[in-house]
A and B are shown apart, each in its own frame.
Chain A
Amino acid sequence: MAILLILALPFVGICFPLLMQRHGRLAAALAAGIPTLVAFVILMSLAPSVFAGDVLVASRDWVPQLGLSAGLRVDGLGFLFAAMTLGIGLLVIHYAYFYMSKEDRLGRFFAYLLLFMGAMLGIVLSENVLLMALFWEITSLSSFLLIGYSSHRSEARQGARMALTITGLGGLSLFAGLVLLGQIAGSYELTEILASGEQIVAHDWYLPMLLLVLLGAFTKSAQFPFHFWLPNAMAAPTPVSAYLHSATMVKAGVFLLARLHPALSGADVWVYLVGGVGMVTMCYAAYVAFFRHDLKGLLAYSTISHLGLITALFGFGTSGAAVVGVFHIMNHAAFKASLFMTAGIIDRQTGTRDIRGLGKLHGAMPYTMVLALLGAAAMAGIPLLNGFLSKEFFLKETLSVPLMAGTPWLFPTVATVGAIFGMAYSVRLVHGVFFEPTDNKTPKEADDPSFGLLLPVAILVAICVVVGVAAEWTAGPTLAAASAHVVGGDLPSYSLTMWHGFTLELLMSAIAIVVGVAVYVQRRRLYDFAERVWPELTGKMVFEKVLGLVVGFARGLTTRLENGSLQRYVALLLGMAIVAGAIPFVQYGYVSGTQAITPTNPVAVAVWGLLIVAALATVFTHRHRISAIICLSVVGLLISIVFVYMSAPDLALTQLSVEVVTILLLLLALFVLPKVAPVEGSRKRKVRDAGLAVLGGLGMGAISWAVMTRPQQSISDFYLENATYPVGGGTNVVNVILVDFRGFDTLGEVAVLVLAAFGIFSMLRYAHHTYVEGVPDTADDRYPLVLVSASRPLLALILLMALFIFLRGHYLPGGGFIGGLVASVALITQYLASGIDWTTERMRLNFRSVAVAGLLIATAAGAVAVLIDSPFLTMTLLDVNLPLVGQSDFVMTLLFDLGILLAVVGATMTILSELSHMQEVEPYDEEQRAKETDPWKP
């Protein structure tokens, strides 16, 4: 519970600063600070049990089918990171309140910050690795928002985009890696993953999984060659740089290495990859940092270098190195956050961050100078400060990497070179800003800032000093508790004292300090040298080049595929479908079944012959559209005969009535569209299309032949056995399936029909404005006497028939669908015979309302079941035999079917009447019309 509260507080807190910002900046800062403080206090209350070595787990199933649980855990490592996230978070909130411009209301800023804080806590407190991946993504996103906070500046937007691209890419890769890891370990719970290290390392998938996970960790922790996003992320406001890009978010990568250390570190490839990348990054970034003139740029590369150092420590694969790695995570967070804040102060008080424009500030900013001096000394690894301890231990560990026994000098040399430049850029940071003689005037008159701005820096520097002097007492317990879960076994013996005698690592440290100062003294020559041989190729350029290539490729592909011709898309689509359908034929060969063939008969052959002729005639007459419609209607009618033969009376009825409305619809369309199409299309295209048509047709025929000649296995026995009372309550199984077993499907499908009708309605209403021209009426006889006279009595008869078909539907072929279509035909006939005006005058029904009413009735019929605690659309719910009505179950299905009927009538009529309203025929003599449309009127 306490764990959940720690995680939930920042997320819940997101809305507080947004709500409070109208009451001023202080209110917004307090609104962000209080949830953080409360979460911090709760976390501290867990400290005793964590130091006792307990692992507190709170887990709840979320999507158990995917192995996803909302599991949280607090162990030593999670505790350390959560404490860093919340503690430094508090200091950053305090700092930001004083640092940010007075015009900024800060609500949005603190909301982003809390979002990040919650996500970071999520990463470090997750028990389930999939959950961890989720929070990992949120940190990338919130980092994007925070880097781009000053969204009016293009470098902020660029930096934000680059950070998101790189870390987001890594996040996806990490996700894939974690899924693989979960598959290998058989569980997504950390407890089980950490316990099955040997099994994981021995698995065939170990290497791909490791590469994917490492890609995630390296991109997040800005390891070479993915480091370049971090310097560009310095466009973020300084509090963000201090928090995300030095102390916490970039540590998520090394946290992951630490977290999975017990499970993954057992292989040689781990040492080469993680250790190697870490060492390269550590040395390279330290070298680059020395040449950065921007304070934050220098600190960014320094951060990359230190992250490389930590990565390398976890990569050595020894338990001693892992402990040092954890120790340096703590130390680095303290001194680097303080230095970033100091850089922000210098920027704010002088108006520039460029070291070349600064100097001699020790007089104007004495307090800042002292704090910067101590922070930089910790960073350089000067004795009596915490940085000295962990760097000393790091140098010691490089001497004894088991796998590097063949080249024992390699890692120590690289480490010493890195340390030399670490010393050099630290000296530069302090000397260049505070002591170097300069004639430059800073843009603003420099002075020490207010106490409020210095306070968080002072606290962090105090930590550096205290840990440096008395590490065992202060950092010892936390370090031991955290390291226990990184080592994955018994802790090695180590001593956090400063003096270990005259050792090799002490010599290396001394070399680093002396040579580092010498490098700084010789800086002018080095700058000139670097100016001359500075590599043209930077990470940012490569990134932009690659991005440009990808975008160019995508754009080229898009323009080539998508040339605006729908015809081509359809051809491509069908072609793909045919290829996809053909693959199994090629793969497994085509074998027809052995089922006995149903004997044929002359009538069937005749129908078949007519069908083929009508289909081909439709194709050949397609340019003369009226003829084509007639041919198509022949096909439709013949198909209903086929349905009858295939024992599908319901389908035959439906097909018959749909055919009528379809043909009407197509004829109506020809009011507007040309009745004859031009001759067009190259011969080549026709051959291509004919080829596709033959292949597609043959494929369909071949599949159905293969199926029909094989014996059947179907799930339908269930429907046949249960169609009757008491389960289904009908004898027409098709109708029972529609209104009962698969009622939800049916409801959805009529909803589609109604939606289509509404779409058509709105489209045509809009189109009316553009269409006013009269259509020349070429009919010789507008209102044929026979049709008009016959349509009146037919209306009643057909409607009666529709009712009959509807009512018997549950027991014999029929039902709501068919009844609805037949009723529509009856109504449409009136439009056809007597014209629109005559019919509209008499039929004052809003068919859209009818359609909606139908849907509502059907839904209500289904919802009755919910009232008595059965699933939606349960039809057999009341087992009561009512007089006259029969089984009450029958009433519910009838009601449902009535809804279907009304929806079908409403939708069909909306569609057809809207279409027929479109044409404005030539004016006709009113008296003549009245006479013709009402022949029976005296």
Chain B
Amino acid sequence: MEALIASAIAVLGGSGIYLVLRARTFTVILGLAMLAIAVNLFLLSMGRVVPGHAPVIEEGLETAAYVDPLPQAVVLTAIVIGFAMMSFAVVLAISAHFVTGTDHLDGEEEAP
């Protein structure tokens, strides 16, 4: 299971990086979204894989049995912040498009 998660993080992270490096604003935003997902999964994996023991306290269960709740709290806020960041990037891209008339990252089409 750990191998599946680690490889998924690798593929998501790699895809995100590749997309972020493209020349169009929208693609970069797609890449950011992908990278955010990869990083969130990465952060969550720091709490190890503990299936079936959500951090909701039940009577008569030792603390060691639960999955680590701290990465979850961190990731939860990260998801929301990630959304804020992405919306901001989207609007930046739109504004830049208004101003420059192109969606190229550098504000002008590359010389052919």
Given contacts A570-B28, A669-B90, A907-B84, 15 further A-B contacts (CB under 8 A): A647-B52, A647-B67, A650-B76, A655-B79, A658-B82, A662-B83, A669-B29, A707-B46, A712-B47, A733-B56, A749-B77, A753-B83, A757-B84, A771-B98, A915-B91
Evaluate contact between A746 and B77: CB separation under 8 angstroms: yes
Q: Which of A565, A712, A767, A811 contacts B68 (CB under 8 A)?
A: A712
Whose C-beta in chain A lies nearest to the C-beta of B110?
Answer: A680
25 A-B pairs (CB sep. < 8 Å): A567-B22, A567-B23, A570-B20, A597-B3, A616-B11, A646-B49, A646-B50, A647-B50, A662-B83, A665-B87, A668-B90, A699-B13, A700-B10, A700-B39, A701-B7, A703-B42, A704-B6, A704-B45, A704-B46, A750-B80, A752-B81, A756-B85, A756-B87, A763-B95, A817-B80
Whose C-beta in chain A lies nearest to the C-beta of B46?
Answer: A707
In the complex, A677 Cα to B110 Cα: how many Å?
Answer: 14
Interface assignment of A648: CB less than 8 Å from any CB of chain B: yes
Contact residues of A with B, CB < 8 Å? 564-567, 570-571, 574, 595, 597-600, 604-605, 608, 611-612, 615-616, 618-619, 622, 625, 628-629, 632, 635-636, 639, 642-643, 645-651, 654-655, 658, 661-662, 665-666, 668-670, 672-674, 677, 680-681, 689-690, 692-694, 696-705, 707-709, 712, 714-717, 719-721, 723-724, 731-734, 737-738, 742, 745-746, 749-750, 752-753, 756-757, 759-760, 763-764, 766-767, 770-771, 811-813, 817, 821, 904, 907-908, 911, 914-915, 918
What's the minimum C-beta distance from B39 to chain A, rounded to whole angstroms? 8
> Which B residues lie within 8 Å of A733 (CB)?
55-57, 66, 69
In the complex, A915 Cα to B66 Cα: how many Å?
Answer: 42
What's the minimum C-beta distance from B45 to chain A, rounded to whole angstroms? 4
Q: Which of A564, A625, A698, A753 contacts B14 (CB under 8 A)?
A: A698
> Which B residues lie within 8 Å of A914 (CB)?
91
Contact residues of B with A, CB < 8 Å? 1-15, 17-30, 33-34, 37-42, 44-58, 63-64, 66-70, 72-73, 75-77, 79-88, 90-95, 97-99, 103, 105-106, 110
Evaluate contact between A642 and B51: CB separation under 8 angstroms: no
> Which B residues lie within 8 Å of A645 (CB)?
51
In the complex, A918 Cα to B83 Cα: how many Å?
Answer: 20
> Which B residues lie within 8 Å of A649 (CB)?
54, 56
What's the minimum C-beta distance from B43 to chain A, rounded to whole angstroms? 9
Evaluate contact between A734 and B48: CB separation under 8 angstroms: no
Evaluate contact between A705 and B91: CB separation under 8 angstroms: no
In the complex, A600 Cα to B6 Cα: how many Å?
Answer: 13
Across the A-B interface, the 9 shortest Cβ-Cβ residue pairs: A697-B14, A701-B10, A693-B18, A705-B6, A756-B84, A733-B55, A598-B1, A733-B69, A731-B57
Given A615-B11, A669-B29, A714-B70, A654 contacting B4 (CB threshold 8 A):
no
In the complex, A309 Cα to B23 Cα: how many Å?
Answer: 66
> Which B residues lie within 8 Å of A618 (CB)?
15, 19, 30, 34
In the complex, A574 Cα to B87 Cα: how many Å?
Answer: 22
What's the minimum C-beta distance from B38 to chain A, rounded to whole angstroms? 7
Interface of A is mostly: helix
> Which B residues lie within 8 Å of A724 (CB)?
57
Given A608-B4, A717-B63, A813 contacting B37 (CB threshold 8 A):
no
Evaluate contact between A612 and B11: CB separation under 8 angstroms: yes
> Which A residues lie within 8 Å of B88 (CB)?
756, 759-760
Given A571-B21, A622-B22, A817-B76, A677 contacting B27 (CB threshold 8 A):
yes
Evaluate contact between A639 and B37: CB separation under 8 angstroms: yes
> Which B residues lie within 8 Å of A636 (CB)?
33, 37
In the complex, A753 Cα to B42 Cα: how many Å?
Answer: 23
What's the minimum C-beta distance from A223 to chain B, rounded to whole angstroms? 51
> Which B residues lie within 8 Å of A628 (CB)?
27, 30
> Which B residues lie within 8 Å of A907 (CB)?
84
In the complex, A669 Cα to B33 Cα: how many Å?
Answer: 14
> Which A residues lie within 8 Å of B84 (CB)?
752-753, 756-757, 907
Evaluate contact between B57 and A611: CB separation under 8 angstroms: no
Q: Which of B54, B80, B90 contacts A915 (CB under 8 A)?
A: B90
Evaluate contact between B18 and A690: CB separation under 8 angstroms: yes
Given A639-B37, A647-B51, A673-B25, A731 contacting B30 (CB threshold 8 A):
no
In the complex, A649 Cα to B58 Cα: how many Å?
Answer: 15
In the complex, A672 Cα to B91 Cα: how many Å?
Answer: 10
> Which A residues lie within 8 Å of B99 (CB)?
770
Whose C-beta in chain B lies nearest to the C-beta of A655?
Answer: B79
Evaluate contact between A651 and B44: CB separation under 8 angstroms: yes
Evaluate contact between A689 and B37: CB separation under 8 angstroms: no
In the complex, A908 Cα to B56 Cα: how many Å?
Answer: 28
> Which A residues lie within 8 Å of B46 (CB)?
704, 707
Whose C-beta in chain A lies nearest to the C-beta of B49?
Answer: A598
> Which A residues lie within 8 Å of B77 (CB)?
738, 745-746, 749, 817
Evaluate contact between B73 and A734: CB separation under 8 angstroms: yes
Given A648-B54, A708-B48, A767-B94, A574 contacting B20 (CB threshold 8 A):
yes
Evaluate contact between B27 and A622: CB separation under 8 angstroms: yes
> Which B residues lie within 8 Å of A665 (CB)?
86-87, 90
What's the minimum C-beta distance from A875 to chain B, rounded to whole angstroms? 15
In the complex, A851 Cα to B57 Cα: how many Å?
Answer: 32
> Which B residues lie within 8 Å of A705 (CB)?
2-3, 6
Among B47, B58, B77, max chain A CB count under 10 A is at B77
Q: Which of B11, B33, B54, B110 contacts A647 (CB under 8 A)?
A: B54
Evaluate contact between A648 and B44: CB separation under 8 angstroms: yes
What's the minimum C-beta distance from A866 to chain B, rounded to whole angstroms? 23
What's the minimum C-beta distance from A704 to chain B, rounded to whole angstroms? 4
> Which B residues lie within 8 Å of A646 (CB)?
5, 44-45, 47, 49-51, 67
Evaluate contact between A598 and B51: CB separation under 8 angstroms: yes
> Which B residues lie within 8 Å of A771 (CB)?
98
> Which A residues lie within 8 Å of B19 (CB)?
618-619, 622
Evaluate contact between B5 and A704: CB separation under 8 angstroms: yes
Given A697-B13, A812-B56, A704 contacting B42 (CB threshold 8 A):
yes
In the complex, A874 Cα to B99 Cα: how many Å?
Answer: 48
> Which A residues lie within 8 Å of B9 (CB)?
697, 700-701, 704
Q: Which of A598, A642, A760 contacts B91 (CB under 8 A)?
A: A760
Whose C-beta in chain A lies nearest to the C-beta of B1?
Answer: A598
In the complex, A446 Cα to B25 Cα: how many Å?
Answer: 75
> Which B residues lie within 8 Å of A651 (CB)?
40, 44, 72, 75-76, 79
> Which B residues lie within 8 Å of A721 (CB)?
63
> Which A residues lie within 8 Å of B105 (CB)?
565-567
